[in-house]
Amino acid sequence: MKRYIRTVYAPVVGVPWSNQELFDAIQTSLERWLGREERKALLDLIRLFLIGHRTRYVQRPDFLKFNSFADHAEAFERAAEDSLRAVSVEIAKNGPAQFDAVIAVSSTGLSMPGLADQMANIVQDRMNRHALLLDVANAGCTGSSRALQIGANLGTDIRDILIVVVEPTSTIADPRSVERSNWQGVCTFGDGAAGVWLSSEPGHGAARLEKIVSWHGNEPDLIQWEKGSNYYRFGLTDPEGFESSVRREILEATTQIGWNKKSGALCGIHPAGIMLLLSLAKKLELDRATLEPSIRHFRAFSNMSSASILHILHELLNTAHSDQEVRWLTMGTGFHVVYGLCTKL
């Protein structure tokens, strides 16, 4: 059965923080508890992670003061609800009469009832009472693409599907850690939310989903949650070898999933980080103009986990002309890579 991306919802949640604002906040936080020598070494590293002009959106500007499991969990719940409501505002402007399924994605927290159930309550006037409600958790930066993969394979009785993504990444920051991967995460990620209305019917401005394939690699421990001071936090098993391993995995994936260079197609690459983005583009022979929407997104929002690729798709689908192909590539924990392709109608 054909599936159509009817619209991509890309609300902006939180408040913008520049690199300088984040650096100042981290410095102030570290001054409270870390000795001068250790602090200097850590701040030098953080300066590297925050070089140049970039912003991210932060839903809980007090995240560097979290001091207990409850602080983190409560922050996630509040930020998640704000994000679901932000997506619901977009749905009110352009959505179907009724959703037959909700797939909710988050890799930054858990809640009960699940996020799909919460979303169904928020948009209950548009919900089929028999709808499938499903949470996809802990899928990392490929989470939204995995949800699209699920949606593309659901049966014909499920016509209109809502995919909703909430990633308040700041809520897992560990302000009391000296681990470099924790701070690499804090500096690389931004908070974000997004959604997709996926339908069995085409409509104005829609794109036909042509292909969505995934590849599972050989680096299960590369990116993982580690146990922080009082919550889980972002971790890399081998920070020094991370870039090389990721590049190797992605290049292996692209040879397996049918990614090839095609002129005239618009392209979105998950902005894992600027080094990875540019080095990958070079290997895939993508020119700077093709990569620009992904770079622009990273500069404005940083890496919002799997919400990022949907924001990039939102822009690409708005600029694509009729019959133009839009392709995207996401990569993340697992190590997992997803390649998607759609055509603007």
- Interacting residue with other proteins among 12, 34, 45, 300 (CB under 8 A): 45
Choices 43-51, 67-75, 210-218, 261-269 (CB under 8 A): range interacting with other proteins: 43-51
Q: Residue 251 CB, nearest distance to other proteins (Å)?
A: 12
CA atoms of 4 and 345, how far apart (whole Å): 9
Verify binding: residue 37, other proteins, rule CB under 8 A: no
Residue 55, classed as helix, strand or coil, is: strand
Return the number of the residue (45 or 110) whose C-beta is nearest other proteins: 45
- Structure tokens given for 101: 């399924």
Q: Are 99 and 123 in contact (CB under 8 A)?
A: yes
Among 64-72, 126-134, 190-198, 277-285, the segment contacting other proteins (CB under 8 A)? 277-285
At 316, list the tokens: 């690409």
Among 274, 307, 309, 337, binds other proteins (CB under 8 A): 274
Q: Residue 343 has which token pair?
A: 């055509």
Q: Which residue lies nearer to other proteins by CB, 7 or 294? A: 294
Ordered DSSP codes for 155-184: -TT--EEEEEEEE-GGGG--TT---HHHHH
52 binds other proteins (CB under 8 A): yes
Q: Which of 97, 112, 129, 240 binds other proteins (CB under 8 A)?
A: 240
CA distance 209 to 242: 32
Q: Which helix (H) or strand (E) holds 136?
A: strand 127-137
The answer to whether 48 contacts other proteins (rule: CB under 8 A) is: yes
Greatest alpha-carbon pair distance for the chain in Å reads 63
Q: Per-residue string for binding with other proteins, 152-191, x by CB under 8 A?
A: ----------------------------x---x-------
Stretch that binds other proteins, among 154-162, 202-210, 241-249, 326-334 (CB under 8 A): 241-249
Q: If you count DSSP H runs as helices and E runs as strands, how many of each does the chain have, helices first?
A: 10, 13
**CB nearer to other proteins: pick between 85 and 248:** 248
Tokens of 74: 């409560």
Q: For residue 237, state whether it binds other proteins (rule: CB under 8 A).
A: no
Which one of the spans 22-30, 239-247, 310-318, 334-342 is the region binding other proteins (CB under 8 A)?
Answer: 239-247
Q: 3-state DSSP call for residue 273?
A: coil
Residue 278 engages other proteins in binding (rule: CB under 8 A): yes
Contact 326, 137 (CB under 8 A): no
Q: State which of residues 155, 203, 220, 239 lies at the interface with other proteins (CB under 8 A).
A: 239
Please, which residues have CB within 8 angstroms of residue 62's CB and are 6 or more apart in sequence? none
Q: Closer to other proteins by CB, 208 or 247: give it.
A: 247
Confirm or reject binding of residue 54 to other proteins (CB under 8 A).
yes
Among candidates 298, 277, 178, which has minimal Cα distance to 226? Answer: 178
Contact 4, 151 (CB under 8 A): no
Choose between 2 and 47: whose C-beta lies nearer to other proteins. 47
Which residues of the shown chain bind other proteins in the complex (CB under 8 A)?
41, 44-45, 47-48, 51-54, 180, 184, 239-244, 274-275, 278-279, 282, 295
